[in-house]
Structure formats: C-alpha cells, structure tokens
C-alpha cells in the first residue's frame, strides 16, 4: 500500500514540476494557462489519491473511510471549478485584446473591429 502511494505521489509531483517549467518558460499567457492545466487536473488528482492510500494504510474503520471520501471530494470540486475558471480567464483575456504569440509575429486570427 505504501509503495502504491509513493508511486502515485511521485507521478503527481512530476506533473507539478513539468507545469512549473511550462509556467516559467512559455512565451504567452495562453500558453501558460495550457501549462497550468496539467497541474490542475492530473497533478492534484494523483497527489491526493496517493495521500488517500496513505490514510487507508492504517485501517478501514468508518471514520477513516469518511476522511478518504472527504479527500477525494477535493479533486472533484477542482475538476468542476478549475476549467470553468480558466475558461472565464481566457475569455476575459480575449475580450481585452491580448494577442496570441506566434513565431513569426503574424496574426493568426481576424480580430473584430473596435478591439485594441
């Protein structure tokens, strides 16, 4: 049980590390949102699954089982909330006129009139 927990937490920490590298290296705020999406979904799910197996290692009584259910509610709420928040943030960035980064500096979209 402990080996499974350590493996799950290590995999989750790898997702967090790759997301942090993307956050510091990518050139644009849209790319940075794409990078943090990895930590928002797989990182938090794998880390909390590993911590739940650590809790279940000491026994299966009722109180401990309730604790595991509470721990597994956190990624559920995060899966409901995180993509919605990212979508709203991207929509506001789009409406403010933040241009997406391209390699040769050319526009890839036709922007509506009136936007800066």
Partner 1 sequence: MEVFLIGAGLFLLGISVIGIWRIVLGPTVIDRIVGGSFVGTIVVVLLVIIGLIYGRLELFVDIALMYSLLSFIGILIFSKYLSHQGP
Give the residues lining the site for partner 1 (CB under 8 A): 2, 6, 9, 12-13, 16-17, 19-20, 23-24, 29, 32-33, 36, 39-40, 43-44, 47-48, 51, 54-55, 63, 67, 70-71, 73-74, 77-78, 81-82, 84-86, 88-89, 91-93, 95-96, 98
From the CB of 35, what's the least distance to partner 1, in Å? 9
Give 110 or 116: the residue with its C-beta nearer to partner 1. 116
Query: Phi first, then psi: what are they for 78, rounded to 5°?
Result: -70, -35
Residues 103 and 105: their CA atoms lie apart, in Å, by 6
């Amino acid at each position: 049980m402990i080996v499974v927990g350590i493996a799950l937490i290590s995999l989750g920490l790898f997702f967090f590390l790759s997301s942090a590298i993307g956050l510091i290296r990518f050139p644009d705020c849209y790319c940075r949102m794409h990078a943090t999406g990895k930590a928002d979904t797989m990182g938090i799910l794998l880390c909390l699954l590993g911590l739940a197996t650590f809790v279940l290692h000491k026994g299966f009584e009722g109180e401990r089982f309730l604790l595991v259910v509470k721990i597994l509610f956190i990624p559920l709420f995060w899966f409901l909330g995180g993509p919605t928040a990212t979508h709203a943030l991207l929509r506001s960035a789009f409406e403010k006129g933040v241009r997406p980064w391209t390699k040769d500096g050319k526009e890839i979209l036709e922007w509506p009139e009136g936007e800066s």
